[in-house]
Structure 1
Amino acid sequence: MTVRVGVVGGGLAGITAALRCADAGCAVTLLEARPRLGGLAASFHRGELRIDNGQHVFLRCCTSYRQLLDRLGVADLVTLQDRLDIPVHLPGRRPARLRRSTLPAPLHLAGALLRYRPLSFPDRVRMVGAALALRQVDPADPATDAISFGDWLAEHGQSRRAVDALWDLVGVATLNATADAASLAPGATVFQLGLLTDATAGDIGWSRVPLGRLHDDAAALGLHDAGVQVHISTKVRALERTAGGWQLTSEREGERVEESVVDQLICAVPPAATERLLPEGAVDLPRGWSAALGSSPIVNVHVVYDRRVLDTPFAAGVDTPVQWVFDRTEQSGLHRVHSAPAQYVAVSLSAADDVIRTPTARLREQMLPALAALLPAARDARVLDFFVTREPHATFRPAPGTGALRPPPHTRTPGLFLAGAWTDTGWPATMEGAVRSGNAAADAALAPAGAPSGSVGVAP
């Protein structure tokens, strides 16, 4: 008898879970409230340009996400550095560089850290010692989760300058929280997996096309070819356990719809929506757990200049409001609208509590001078377009103690499973974490049905 699986949510976690179950021979239905797939790692149209909602990169160690790209047949549409190389711009100063060597970890970064000009030499030396100590931290220990990453860094000799100019340079972009506001557990995970264990793990990859090509267009085709029934613009309002399985009630085009009953159900939506949908007692968490887990915003500032101002695919900023800036000219299709040398750059501002409500006009007043201070070519460039995208609830907030609020894929209710980058994946809220959660939920859903376990990257 074919197992019927329902997946609620069409982000990366839901896409992964649906493909995994379909590849195992299940009859899968996926329901997504938005009119597109991909969740927050998606694109939209602004005139003739295709704009990514946010700036997402991945690392060489993001093996599950890269397997998903392989499964969708779009691995050739991304690029991956041969060697970790981060240009670091400072106002009025020559850019610095964080580039790994070919030595084994952790020696591969020693030279880059010791030459890192934004820090004093004593800070550079102390940083090497803290990095070696961080390798020994156990992120799975509940005691680790209770500690602030910032407090741990201070205890290990890291100055305020070192935190601002290097630890947060990497940590804020991956944790969506500053070191002072983050738990040591995800902080240690980020640096151990990406920078301190395998020399090649932190090499950076990015899409050469709009993210919608990967996570919406290709995903829709891949799901269709796998036999998954996909219903977009369909918001699940309620789910009920019945004698025959799970009955979902949804809203589609303003109409109430009772979906076909499924045997297994994977809920892959954000925490607040999950808590609203789950039956009482489905998870071993206190009432209001999603609010306690919290959320952290991301703001993206988009600028189109009449000339090239950034000569690398991306750069990080120190001593500036600009955290990371990306060249999005090719991905957006800008040259179909403006003749060369026009350039479109996007500034990603993570942990953006202080600017999430700042009016666009005010952000323009702040960010254009900041970009001009970092990128000399921007000083005389004419701005052709300026706009802002905001995600008030981009990720969960990885504060100390929140690890206990990240549930596993299994619930207390038979046939009901959870997915999402906010679940207990062992990773922060990243694309890799989302894909890993989808695989974990699918494996949990398949196990009672006697189906084989595995990952979405390897189709049977």
Structure 2
Amino acid sequence: SLRQRLAVLRAGLALRRLDPEDRALDDMTFGEWLTARGQDTTAIETFWDLIVLPTVNAAAADASLKLAAKVFVTGLLTEAGAADIGWARVPLSALHGDAARRALEAAGGEVRSRVPVKAVRPGGEGLEVQTDEQVIEADSVVVAVPHDAVAALLPSGTVAAQDRLVELGTSPIVNVHLVYDRPVTDLDFFATVGSDAQYVFDRTAGAGLDDGRQCLAVSLSAADSYIGMASGDLVSHFTAELARLLPAATGATVTESIVTRENSATFLGLPGTDSLRAGAESGLPGVYLAGAWTDTGWPATMEGAVRSGTGAGRLAARFASRSAGGEAPGSAR
């Protein structure tokens, strides 16, 4: 209704006046703030949650106001191009993992995958990284692991509130991939209103399909209601839901399907979590922290993760260069 649209506009103007760096905003939920500004359940579910769910990985009713403010103020309200949307046309493993490996190896680095690290600790000449098979000496180390794995890797007291990092919690993401025997939409991606499908992406190219079939991925954030469902039930439910949303899908057949689940995809951006997010520098010289859970100011998004990794990498290279007596960072161990 016009009344609801005007109320959303007024709330947006009020949101624009918030400072995302104000730590006091982490004392309340985004939902509480919205309700106090006249946003009813319909407005929250059809507009605000549409953006908060995939960015904070929590509904407005649960999300920290500070994190929601960062998304809206920085990501939508600062300038015209701030809300531009980009999406990957290839699998994220190719976009991130494969590209990172190539860059590291081109710089003279060695990439060892499937080598679990047991501990990072001070050593005789710097730092030691303990694996199942050996101890690797290092000048500097970037610890880029989930927040709930940090305490077991580092000596006690290395990170502020180290024993409380588990209190950041986790939030799941589920993706339901459906391969249709024919194209059912010409949209690259779309968001849904009045549906639990949330966001749907065309993954045909990424799936390597060139035989006339189409692959759609239903991406579900804050997926607590779906993480424990049987794959067959999820496929049946969202096949029916997409048939309701896409007329062309009604007569199409799903020839293949796959469900992927990330039980601990991100930290849970509730009020009170801001004080638990650690900075890049740890209490152990040469050890730096990276990850979307660190104190980036952003929720658990790619934007935050990239900023964190870049910052930690620069600090580690600088420290290693100093430790090596001014040698180029590329020569650091």
Q: TM (normalized to structure 1)?
A: 0.68
Structure 2 residue 54 is matched with structure 1 residue 177: no
Tell me, yes or no, if structure 1 residue 369 matches structure 2 residue 250.
Answer: no
What displacement does 1:139 show? 2.0
Q: Which residue of 2 aligns with 1:333?
A: 208
State the distance in 2 between where 1:369 and 1:290 align.
40
> Residues 132-173 of structure 1: CA distance to partner in whole angstroms, max 9, x if unpaired?
111111222221011101100111111110110011101101
Percentage of matched positions with identical amino acids: 47
Partner in structure 2 of residue 265 of structure 1: 141
Deviation digits for residues 8-43 of structure 1, max 9, x if unmatched?
xxxxxxxxxxxxxxxxxxxxxxxxxxxxxxxxxxxx
Query: Which of the numbers 161, 168, 184 marks the counterpart of 1:309?
Result: 184
Aligned to 1:285: 161
Out of 278, 284, 289, the residue aligned to residue 407 of structure 1 is 278
Deviation at 1:320, TM superposition (A): 1.0
CA shift, 1:369, in A, is 1.2
Question: 1:233 aligned to 2:114?
Answer: yes
In structure 1, give the amino acid aligned to 2:165.
S
- Does the 8 Å CA contact 1:139/1:145 hold for their aligned counterparts? no
Give how far 1:397 is off: 0.3
Q: Secondary structure in 1 aligned to 2:80?
A: coil
State the Cα distance separating 1:450 from its structure 2 match: 6.5
Partner residue in 2 for 1:206? 87
Q: What is the rounded CA distance, in whole Å, between the counterparts of 1:450 and 1:403 in structure 2?
A: 32
The Cα of 1:448 is off from its aligned counterpart by: 4.3
Q: Is the 8 A contact 1:304 1:386 kept in 2?
A: yes
**TM-score after normalising by structure 2:** 0.93
Counterpart CA distance in 1 for 2:145 and 2:42 is 38
Kept in 1: contact 2:179–2:255 (CA 8 A): yes
Counterparts in 2 of 1:89-104, with a 5 A limit? none
Query: Which structure shows the higher helix fraction?
Result: 2
Letter in 1 for 2:175: N
Please list the CA deviations of residues 254-297 of structure 1 after superposition, one character each: whole Å capped at 9, or x if unmatched.
Answer: xx2222x112121111111112111111122162x222000000
CA RMSD of aligned residues (A): 1.4
Counterpart for residue 330 of structure 2: none
Partner SS state of residue 138, structure 2 = coil
Q: Residue type of the partner of 1:283?
A: V
Greater relative contact order (Cα 8 A, min sep 6): structure 1 or 2?
Answer: 1
For structure 2, the residue ranges without an aligned partner over 5 or more in a row are 323-333
Contact 2:30 2:64 in 1 (8 A): yes
Give runs of aligned pairs for residues 335-354 of structure 1, distance below 5 A.
335=210, 339-340=211-212, 342-354=213-225
Q: Give the direction of change, closer, same or farther, for the CA distance of 1:320–1:439 in structure 2 (3 Å limit).
A: same
Within 5 Å, give how 1:444-459 maps onto structure 2. Answer: 444-448=315-319
Q: Partners in 2 of 1:204 and 1:240 — Cα distance?
A: 41
CA contact (8 A) 1:237 1:249 kept: yes
Equivalent pairs counted in the alignment come to 322
Q: How do 1:4-403 residues align onto structure 2 when only pairs under 5 Å count? A: 120-251=1-132, 256-259=133-136, 261-285=137-161, 287=163, 289-335=164-210, 339-340=211-212, 342-403=213-274
Q: List gaps (5 residues or longer) in structure 1.
A: 1-119, 452-460
Q: What amino acid maps onto 2:134 in structure 1?
A: V
Q: SS at 2:120's partner residue?
A: strand
